[in-house]
Every structure is written in C-alpha cells, then in structure tokens.
Amino acid sequence: MKKRFLHAMFVLGIFGLAWALPLRAQTISLHDGGAGCFPSAQTLSFSSNDGSPARNTYTGNVSIPGSSPLPYPARVIFSGGSWLLQIDDGGWNTIASSAVATSPNPPNLTLGAWADVGDCEPLTQFDGTGTESSLPVSLVSAIAIVQAQSATLQWTTVQEINNDRFVIEQQTGQGWKPVGELKGQGNAIGQNNYAFTVSNLPYGQHVFRIAQYDRTGSVSHSRPISVYVELTEAFMLSEAYPNPFNPQTNFTLAVAQTQLVQIRLFDLQGREVVMLYNGSLAGQTTHTFSFNGHGLASGKYFVRVQGENFVAHKQMVLMK
C-alpha cells in the first residue's frame, strides 16, 4: 500500500433518560483530506463490545484508490494494551496505533495520540464528525416513592459498562450531601433494578439525585428527583427564633388540614397582649409569623396557637 495520511474523526453526543455520561463512538470515519489513500471518508461501524474491561471493536471495508483488490477489510480494535487501526491486505496489518487506552470507550482519536507503525505517515489532521450510540450506563426509569417519613428511590438500568457504584445525594443548604451508596454491576447487559430508602425525613420538600461513578473515577448525575413528605401530625409549631429577642422574633406553623387558627400573645399575668393571627391557614404549607416587641417591657411572653383540633403554647423572652 502506498504512503497515506490517516485522518480519524468522530463527535460525541448525549441522549437517554437521565444520565449525562461520556458516550462511545458508534462509527469512526477515516480520510486524509484528499491528499492520500482516503480522498473520501471511509466508515467503520461498531460491531461488538467485549473483553475485560469491555471495549468496542469497529469493522468495515475501505476503498484505497490505485490498490487491488478493492475494498480492503479494516478494523479498529483494542489489543495488547493499545488501540490498533488494521487493514487486511492478505493478513491483518497494523498501520496506526494508540497507547492511550481509554476505558472503556471510545478509542482516543486526539491528534498526536496515534503513531504510524506501518507504511503510513503520522496523523496530520483531525477534524470532522461521526455518530455515537449507547451510554456506559443506560437508565430507563427513575422514580421516588414516599411512605410516611421515608422516600424510596428506584431506578432501572438496561446496560452497565465499567460501572463501579451509585451514590444517592440529597440537596441541602450547603449543596449536595451523600446519604447512601449501592454497588454497580460492573459490566452487564440486561435489566438491573436498584432501590434505596432515605428514612426519618422531616415534613416538606426534599430533592435527591443519583450519582454514577465508573471505575476510572468519572462521575455523572441523574436529573434531580423531588419528593414531598406530608405533615402527618395535626400541626407543627417551631420554637421562636431568635429567642431571647429584641425587638423581633419569628416562628413557623404548619397544619395538616386547612382550618381556622387563632394566634395570641400573652404576658406572664395571662393578659392578652396582641392577636397575631385570626383566620384560615392552608394545610401542608409552612407559614411564618413575626412578633415585634417594640413598646413592651422586657420579660417572658407566651404564644398560644389554637386550631380546630389542637392547642399549643411556646415561650419567648424579650430582652432589652
């Protein structure tokens, strides 16, 4: 075969239900920009994925002008710790190789990563496009089921390549916090079901996501999954904050069912100081109330909250 430049090109894309992970090239196109053996693009297609760790093999036929027979079988294969570009002209001959053993896929086609080991010249160009296919981890469903104060995250994969583990993360005021971990299947084809339960969740909305780690240390995340834990008690009344206070303090109240509520403030002698609220409160919602002690003497005060089926008290201290 005559000397030729090799130009390999591909483009990555992202698809699937929830993961945003690196993809493996489904096709690889070879050409030399019109100055050598491949004046037009020659395409090799994904044909298999095997080995440990599993890596792709790409096969096809390439036409080399001025050479006979036409076309030549060609392949890109991982063997002996390197990616090899080979053409069969009476036997598989390696014309270029890359020792950058990307794991699991695709082969590294960065300019300079491939070396000429046959009668070809080194790569001198790298641009163009290609197409891609499956994700290292293909997620087909992810849901959350709430029961009382627990949320169970359930997800299903139909393919796992080089998958090490899943980490369940919960959103907090300081960012995402790990709350659990499950081992992945490594390399697996077929449906795999996972479930993880987060217990003792307080009333309100909670947001989770699933982080997938592969064996190279790469990590990708699912879309956020929101759950709402309903208030099962008749009411939830917080402590006043700050307490002691001057001049203002705050507290929150949530009721399980929409109802009429009265909130009064009393002094130590049992005298009503002010009616803070008198009306309907929506259920399953946190309501915030404030009290300003301007004009009142320092001392202890009590908030009395009365609903249709409960009565509650909280103490607060005005300190001037």
Mean pLDDT, rounded, for 267-289: 94
Helix/strand/coil for 216? coil
Q: Say whether both 219 and 245 belong to one domain.
A: no
Residue 129 included in any domain: no
| Minimum mean pLDDT range among 24-33, 236-245, 246-255, 308-317 | 24-33
Residue 119 backbone class (left: φ over 0; alpha: ψ -120 to 50; beta: rest)? alpha
Q: Say whether both 192 and 285 belong to one domain.
A: no
| Minimum mean pLDDT range among 123-132, 158-167, 199-208 | 123-132
- DSSP letter assigned to residue 239: P
Q: Say whether both 246 and 214 belong to one domain.
A: no
Look at residue 239 in the predicted model and tell me its pLDDT. Answer: 95
In this predicted model, what pLDDT tens digit does every residue of 131-190 receive, in sequence order?
343 456 777 778 899 988 899 999 988 778 888 999 999 999 999 999 999 999 988 878
- DSSP letter assigned to residue 59: E
Domain end (from 209, 229, 249): 229
| Minimum mean pLDDT range among 64-68, 105-109, 257-261, 289-293 | 105-109
pLDDT band at 1; cut points 50, 70, 90? very low
Helix/strand/coil for 213? strand
CB 2, CB 87: distance < 8 Å: no
Q: Look up residue 296 and give its amino acid.
A: L
Q: Measured between alpha carbons, how far apart are the two ends of the chain, in Å?
A: 95
Q: Say whether both 50 and 107 belong to one domain.
A: yes
Q: Return the closest-CA partner of residue 238 out of 206, 271, 202.
A: 202
Q: Say whether both 270 and 223 belong to one domain.
A: no
For residues 93 and 306, which has the higher predicted lDDT (pLDDT)?
306
Mean pLDDT, rounded, for 248-277: 95
Q: Say whether both 150 and 60 belong to one domain.
A: no
Look at residue 40 in the predicted model and tell me its pLDDT. Answer: 66
Q: What global pTM score does this model have?
A: 0.50
Domain end (from 212, 229, 246): 229
Residue 122 included in any domain: no
Spatial separation of the C-alpha atoms in residues 262 and 258, rounded to whole Å: 13
Residue 217 included in any domain: yes
Look at residue 13 in the predicted model and tell me its pLDDT. Answer: 22
Q: Is the dihedral of CA 219, 224, 230, 231 positive or negative?
A: positive
Q: Say whether both 216 and 244 belong to one domain.
A: no
CATH number (domain holding residue 239):
2.60.40.1930
Domain end (from 60, 86, 116): 116
CATH number (domain holding residue 208):
2.60.40.10
Mean pLDDT, rounded, for 260-268: 96
Q: Return the closest-CA partner of residue 155 out of 134, 168, 165, 141.
A: 141
| Minimum mean pLDDT range among 24-38, 75-89, 197-211 | 24-38
- The whole-chain average pLDDT of the chain stands at 78
Residue 95 included in any domain: yes
Residue 130 included in any domain: no
Spatial separation of the C-alpha atoms in residues 182 and 195, rounded to whole Å: 9
Report for 6-10, 19-23, 69-73, 132-136: range of highest mean pLDDT? 69-73
Please count the structural domains in the chain.
3
Q: Say whether both 200 and 169 belong to one domain.
A: yes
Omega of the bond leading into 224 within 30 degrees of 0 (cis): no
Residue 126 included in any domain: no
Q: Say whether both 242 and 300 belong to one domain.
A: yes
Look at residue 301 in the predicted model and tell me its pLDDT. Answer: 97
Residue 287 is part of which domain span? 235-318
Q: CA separation (Å) from 35 to 29, 118, 236, 269?
A: 16, 18, 77, 99
Residue 194 included in any domain: yes
Q: Say whether both 95 and 154 belong to one domain.
A: no
